[in-house]
Amino acid sequence: MVEVGRRPRGSWSSFRGQAAAWLGPFPPMNHQPEQLHGAVFSRPRTTGRGMAMIVQNYVGCDISKARLDLFDEASGRYQRIPNQAEAIEAYVAGLCAGRDFVVMEATGVYDRLLRHALGKAGIAFSRHNPAHTHHYAKSATQRAKTDRLDARMLSSYGRRYQPAAEPAPCEKGERLQSLARHRDHLVEIRAGLKRHLSEAFDEDVITETERLIADFDTRIDALESRIARA
């Protein structure tokens, strides 16, 4: 039994064992919901001068084919830049790895340049289903929809949910995905030609369709070989 007000004899680990028996099991040191697991940069970081708190700054980014609209939570600043490699790289150069976290909606190929620039610079980012972010905007009573407001909403979404960062994009992996999608597209076209052939009765149409199918067979085989070698 540990007496209140008296320092126990022996090591701290020995006392902790006694206290555990007295008080019951200690609670886990990191008891966070699963969706907060990725928010590691907002924890205290030990430096040579003691404990320093690095506060996560969420940058919301609304993406379209032609441009990016960005809202920086820390500065309250809006910025619009072209969705082009040079402009994106210049913007990303002003971000700070370990502090800034970019939140965007998944937009297919339109977010590719931004993701690669962020990954190269070591800036954390996450992409989200637009249906989820739009639901959040409604719950936050955002009625109007503009690119600037969407960028601010995405910054707020990041602050609210503190999402985990995505892995940096892999050029090889994305190339394989692109080849696989192209192969699937050709297979779909070939299937349509085969359906067309099954309904054809004119000899010229049959001959031409068979030639097209053979051409697609060759192209699909070549793509599958490239995918296998990659």
For residue range 28-74, what is the model confidence (pLDDT) as tens digits? 333 333 333 333 333 333 334 444 566 799 999 999 999 999 999 99
What's the domain count of the chain? 2
Q: Is residue 70 part of a domain?
A: yes
Residues 119 and 175 in one domain: no
Same domain, 103 and 184: no
131-152 pLDDT, tens digit each: 988 888 887 776 667 888 999 9
Name the residue among 170, 181, 41 with its Cα closest to residue 102.
Answer: 41
Q: Is there a contact between 99 and 56 (Cβ–Cβ < 8 Å)? A: yes
Is residue 190's pLDDT more than 80?
A: yes
pLDDT at 20 over 50: no
145 inside domain: yes
152: containing domain: 57-161
**What is the Cα gyration radius of the chain?**
28
The answer on 210 and 132 residing in a single domain is no
Residues with Cβ within 8 Å of residue 148, at least 6 apart in sequence: 62, 69, 71, 78
**Residue pair 49/35 in contact by the 8 Å Cβ criterion:** no
Q: Stretch 75-85: mean pLDDT, rounded?
A: 95
Tell me how far the alpha carbon of residue 30 is from its chain's centroid: 24
What token pair was written down for 205?
Answer: 């149409």
pTM: 0.64
Q: What was the pLDDT predicted at 97?
A: 93
In a domain, 106, yes or no: yes
**Helix (H) / strand (E) containing 73:** none
Cβ neighbourhood burial of 203 (10 Å; 0-12, 13-18, 19+): exposed
pLDDT (0 to 100) of residue 33: 32
